[in-house]
Structure 1
Amino acid sequence: MKKERVKLTAAEKSELFAEGVITVVLLLLLNLSIIILIHLAILQDENLVNGIYFIKMNMTFAGNYHIWSWQRIFIMMMAIADVIVVYWRLIRRYHQMQLRHVISELHYIADGHFDHRISFAVRTDLQRVIDSINSLVDSTVNSINEERAIEKSKDELITNVSHDIRTPLTSIIGYLGLLKTGNVSPEDSQKYIDIAYTKAEQMKSLANDLLEYTTLKSNSTKLQLVPLHIYSMLEQVEAGFELEAEKKGIKFEIEARPKSLTIQADPEKLVRVYNNLINNAFKYGQGANKIKLVANLVNKTEVELRVENNGARIPEKALKKIFERFYRVEGSRNKLTGGTGLGLSITQSIVELHHGVIRCESDDNWTSFIIRLPLDPKKTRLT
């Protein structure tokens, strides 16, 4: 955006004009006084008069033109000096007016108008001050927005945790209350105990996920990096889900290019990434009958890991929020899918710990979670 120069008010223009008039009057009086004093001094010294006359008569130019009289030369020099002084006084006063405008704009911003910026431009060092003020305001606004986002995030965290704890806890208390009365049959007692136990397991899962999430977000988490053979790890991951996949009628496909692909990673945490993504596919990939675990060497420094399923498409709107904590694609706390809503947030945190990035793509055919990791997190950081 092109910046305009400072626009002076009518009062400021009048002030500038008055400054010029007063300066001119004072200079004319000063010049007149100097001319009179010099004239009197010269007239009192006959030798000085003769010397000036001699110089004037002997200094000629082309065409036998003589030099002007000393009065004219002196008056011309004073006129040039007067112009310089008038310009200096006016430009000095103009810069003072610019500074007043800057101070006024600064007070306006300080009153809480943080969306306002000093938009005019000047040609002095004051422009650096203006640019610094605008940068400082931008930085302050960003800090305020970040602080508000943190506060909002804390409130959402408390609300979501309270909801996820209260729901199973209410069920546990309800069923234990029924058992406490002793007015239930043995069959119903076992049923209520099983339900209470399941709800307790949900609470434990939430507590574990919440602890892991906060631990990963802290600066104290360290990776235990070792050489990790990707294909072997994928086979182990598949074996852990073999029974559940068989029940759901889902088949795994594993690919690694090259098959000997090895990276520096924390095995425990990277397996957790795969567990979260596969569990997510089981819960939300409705209609899926295939899950692909693919690893490709991209170049000499990067590897791409993909977890893909051919289940239901994830809406475009949900893709933008899918890695937010407690966010669920179905938009509600579905009892059938369960989960804490922290799995993908934990996954993203683990990937970022490895200096990698993760994204999700989904269409009518495949939903793909795509991870880019450096071959050695100590040497490369992806952005």
Structure 2
Amino acid sequence: MEDKFIHSFRYRNLWYSILSAILALLTVLFFLGIVHFISYTLLSNQEYRQALETATSDYKNQTSNSSNNSVSDAIYQNSLNLKYAPDVNTKNSQSNGELDPVVYLVALFIGFASFITYFMIFTKKMSSYLKEISKGIDELAIGNFDVRIPLRNDDEFTRIAQNLNRMAVEIKAIMEEERNTESKKNELITNVAHDLRTPLTSIIGYLDLVSKKDLPAEIKDKYIGIAYNKSIRLEKLIEDLFSYTKFEFGEVKFYKKEVDIVKMLYQLLDEFYPSFTEYGLEYSFDVTVPSAVVSADGDYLARAFANLIGNAIKYGADGKNINLRLEVKDTEVIVTITNYGEVIPKKDITHIFEKFYRVEYSRNEEHGGTGLGLAIARNIFEMHGGQVTARSGLDGTVFEVILPIGQ
């Protein structure tokens, strides 16, 4: 507390004021001393001349009026007059040699001016720093949030500069976040419009062909089947979009209970068996423990793992194998899902969990992804206190899920 006060603006101002007052007083005393010395010197010279003139005049009178006295007596008497006259006059000068009141008024003015001058000299650095702070505030006022005010001392002004710098950083971050949000919102609208329009256009086109043209039953059935598949895809997109929106706005409620992830994954693999067969894939599941129980909402957790397995099937068909592995380390369950399809570029791997983000080669009708499955899976895992990461290389594309046990 004491150290903070010593470095405070008030303490330094108090010290500068005292020091300026002392120096101003010394300046006034020096001025009065000079004036007094000059006055005393001039007065003494004037009195000496007057005494000399008086002695000379007396000598002349004595020589003219006292002819019986010898010249030597007159000279001796004159010397005595010269010797003792200044002492008498000096006493008179000391009694009457006080300085004029105007001099004291001038001294008072000099003292006041000196105090201000010294104080301004001592606070020049502080005033300069205030100008820097003021300039920084002006820059912030016009929207330049890249400006940074230098930190000079450990006082109130420095803390003001620190707060202004922190405010500039935070405002800039908020503005960038708002720009990103606006950009993502526009991107979301664009992607939703595109992904809704594509299947809907196909559905309308095929149904129009069926309704307006006389087509063989075989062709009609084919077109109706295509329209039906497009409708299913459109329904899946709308469902995923609705689910993602609920996660984004925190409208999802979890009903947690004990869930055995080992058993859950076996069930999911059985459900995906037709998809493995359709894509010509083999799968394996390596488990190091008989069971791994976590506290979770079983339906949502199953959906998250289903999204990862479905993603591995769609984009790993070229590798012919899908490998799952589950192990328990300390208080965590670690699940990895590996496919051996096309390697995901580094520029894409860090974005694949973002909504509507799809790797360039996956943007085709064959895969039919909505770009929301991985984003939904990440939200579910994170809301269960876990995390999901991805890496891709020549040894495969691996999605790793970590979930805490007992939460």
Query: By the TM > 0.5 criterion, same fold?
Result: yes
Aligned counterpart for 2:275 among listed residues 220, 244, 269: 244
| Inter-partner Cα distance in structure 2 for 1:371 and 1:83 | 76
Mark the CA change 1:28 to 1:376 in structure 2 (over 3 Å): closer, same or farther. Answer: same
Whether contact under 8 Å (2:308, 2:374) holds in the other structure is yes
| Inter-partner Cα distance in structure 2 for 1:260 and 1:184 | 57
2:374 equivalent to 1:375: no
The unaligned stretches of length 5 or more in structure 2 are: 1-18, 37-112
3-state SS, counterpart of residue 287 of structure 1: helix
Amino acid at match of 2:311: N
Aligned counterpart for 1:202 among listed residues 233, 236, 240: 233
Aligned counterpart for 2:159 among listed residues 128, 135, 138: 128
| Inter-partner Cα distance in structure 2 for 1:145 and 1:189 | 53
Whether contact under 8 Å (2:207, 2:227) holds in the other structure is yes
Amino acid at match of 1:222: K
TM-score, normalization by structure 1: 0.74
Q: Equivalent residue for 1:217? A: 248
| Inter-partner Cα distance in structure 2 for 1:187 and 1:367 | 41
3-state SS, counterpart of residue 362 of structure 1: strand
Q: Equivalent residue for 1:188? A: 219
| Inter-partner Cα distance in structure 2 for 1:190 and 1:297 | 51
What do residues 304-330 of structure 1 show as CA deviations (whole Å, max 9, x unaligned)?
111112333222222111111111123
Q: Which one has a larger percent helix, Structure 1 or Structure 2?
A: 2
Q: Equivalent residue for 1:302? A: 332
Aligned counterpart for 1:162 among listed residues 186, 193, 197: 193
Mark the CA change 1:253 to 1:317 in structure 2 (over 3 Å): closer, same or farther. Answer: same
Aligned-pair CA distance for 1:214: 0.9
| Inter-partner Cα distance in structure 2 for 1:275 and 1:187 | 35
| Inter-partner Cα distance in structure 2 for 1:27 and 1:85 | 14
Q: Equivalent residue for 1:359? A: 389
Aligned-pair CA distance for 1:288: 2.2
2:132 equivalent to 1:101: yes
Q: Equivalent residue for 2:28? A: 29
3-state SS, counterpart of residue 306 of structure 1: strand
| Inter-partner Cα distance in structure 1 for 2:258 and 2:274 | 29
Aligned counterpart for 2:352 among listed residues 314, 322, 330: 322
Aligned counterpart for 2:309 among listed residues 259, 274, 278: 278
Whether contact under 8 Å (2:353, 2:378) holds in the other structure is yes
Whether contact under 8 Å (1:313, 1:365) holds in the other structure is no
Aligned-pair CA distance for 1:141: 0.4
Identity of counterpart residues, as a percentage?
35
| Inter-partner Cα distance in structure 2 for 1:88 and 1:303 | 70
Mark the CA change 1:126 to 1:34 in structure 2 (over 3 Å): closer, same or farther. Answer: farther
Aligned counterpart for 2:149 among listed residues 89, 101, 118: 118
Aligned counterpart for 2:171 among listed residues 129, 140, 143: 140
Aligned-pair CA distance for 1:349: 0.7
| Inter-partner Cα distance in structure 2 for 1:314 and 1:365 | 12
Aligned-pair CA distance for 1:287: 1.9
Q: Equivalent residue for 2:379? A: 349
Amino acid at match of 1:203: L
Aligned-pair CA distance for 1:88: 4.6
- Bigger CA drift: 27-36 or 172-181? 27-36
What do residues 96-135 of structure 1 show as CA deviations (whole Å, max 9, x unaligned)?
2311221012102321222221135234321111111000
What do residues 178-218 of structure 1 show as CA deviations (whole Å, max 9, x unaligned)?
23324333332222212211111111111000011111222
Aligned-pair CA distance for 1:363: 1.6
Amino acid at match of 2:397: T
| Inter-partner Cα distance in structure 1 for 2:141 and 2:168 | 9
Mark the CA change 1:277 to 1:354 in structure 2 (over 3 Å): closer, same or farther. Answer: same
Whether contact under 8 Å (1:255, 1:294) holds in the other structure is yes
Mark the CA change 1:30 to 1:99 in structure 2 (over 3 Å): closer, same or farther. Answer: farther
3-state SS, counterpart of residue 140 of structure 1: helix
The unaligned stretches of length 5 or more in structure 1 are: 1-19, 38-81, 378-383
Q: Equivalent residue for 1:172? A: 203
| Inter-partner Cα distance in structure 1 for 2:317 and 2:280 | 12
Q: Equivalent residue for 2:83? A: none
| Inter-partner Cα distance in structure 1 for 2:382 and 2:399 | 14
Mark the CA change 1:288 to 1:168 in structure 2 (over 3 Å): closer, same or farther. Answer: same
Aligned-pair CA distance for 1:154: 0.6
How many residues align structurally? 313
Whether contact under 8 Å (1:285, 1:310) holds in the other structure is yes
| Inter-partner Cα distance in structure 2 for 1:84 and 1:125 | 24
2:231 equivalent to 1:232: no
Q: Equivalent residue for 1:288? A: 319
| Inter-partner Cα distance in structure 1 for 2:278 and 2:135 | 72
TM-score, normalization by structure 2: 0.70
Mark the CA change 1:123 to 1:227 in structure 2 (over 3 Å): closer, same or farther. Answer: closer
